[in-house]
Amino acid sequence: MPEGDTVYRAAHHLNQVLAGRVIERWWLRVPTHATSDLAGRTIDDVVSRGKHILLRVGDLTLHTHLAMEGEWHIYARGARWRKPAHTARAIIETAEHSAVGFDLAVVELLPRADEQSVVGHLGPDLLAPDWSAAEAADRLRAQPERTVASALLDQRTLAGLGNEYVNEICFLRGILPDTRVANTDADALVALAHRLITANRDRVARTTTGDTRRGRQSWVYGRAGRPCMRCGSLIENRMLGEPGRERTTFWCPRCQS
């Protein structure tokens, strides 16, 4: 699933080309909203909230979620798409651009006043202007018996972290992913999460090591069986998580304890 910085960039780029523009073509390829037509109306803005994207048009909001496979592409009007047309679930065109949402997991049109019904459950957004580190740390401390990995992945704790960031945060804090929240420094975890995702907010090539070279962008994530770049021990991995929410975790047996 895309991390919060990827979703932030998608919303930012959509906002750059769509905000203030008049819709010339509007097509949602989902049964519930297939007959909706906002052509002729002006797009107000596009924002991200955690891993959700909200495209606002007057009193309506188009809510989309990328989940595992979704993507938003932006093309010059009339340019050839880079993905098959049958995978497009949302098509919004202005005089100059086409914004196409491929393989979107969620596509719903709702009253703008009801946005909280789809994002109100989220914790503080790491990349939002109203980010609150104190609230995020309090929400984390309120789950003392959960593992750090599960608590940080829960978007109700803080919004925007995915599995890659969570594994990297655990490495950089020197703790195992299955460490209980009660045995950690919640403020330090939240501060590190904010620092990492903010540093990568405008980067296409994410890095938590400071090195953007291929194979050296992550300390442990996706590196099972390879030597730790800090101590040389082989990186280990296993599934971890609550039933139905298991994710692959990675750690260094020497650097994390």
pLDDT tens digits, residue range 24-66? 999 999 999 999 999 999 999 999 999 999 999 999 999 999 9
pTM equals 0.91
Tell me: the pLDDT tens digits for 128-184? 999 999 999 999 999 999 999 999 999 999 999 999 999 999 999 999 999 999 999
What whole-number percentage of the chain has pLDDT above 90? 92
pLDDT of residue 207: 95
Catalytic residue among 2, 56, 168, 206: 2
Catalytic residue among 9, 51, 56, 206: 51
Mean predicted confidence (pLDDT) in 88-98: 98
Active site residue 3: yes
Tell me: the pLDDT tens digits for 233-257? 999 999 998 787 889 999 999 999 8
Neighbours of 243 (CB within 10 A): 5
Catalytic residue among 29, 180, 201, 247: 247
In this structure, the chain runs to a length of 257
Separation between Cα atoms, residue 55 and residue 48, nearest integer Å: 9
pLDDT of residue 1: 62
Rg of the chain over all Cα atoms, to the nearest angstrom: 20
Position 21 confidence tier, pLDDT thresholds 50, 70, 90: very high
Active site residue 93: no
pLDDT of residue 204: 79
Mean predicted confidence (pLDDT) in 115-122: 96
pLDDT of residue 2: 79
Do residues 75 and 81 touch, judged by C-beta distance below 8 A?
Answer: yes
pLDDT of residue 245: 81
Amino acid (one-letter) located at 125: D
pLDDT of residue 158: 96
Q: Mean of the per-residue pLDDT values for the chain?
A: 96
Separation between Cα atoms, residue 241 and residue 247, nearest integer Å: 6
pLDDT of residue 93: 98
**SS3 label, residue 104:** coil
pLDDT of residue 251: 98
Bridge partners, residue 247, by sequence: 240
Q: Is the pLDDT of residue 209 over 90?
A: yes
Active site residue 247: yes
CA 220 to chain centre: 20
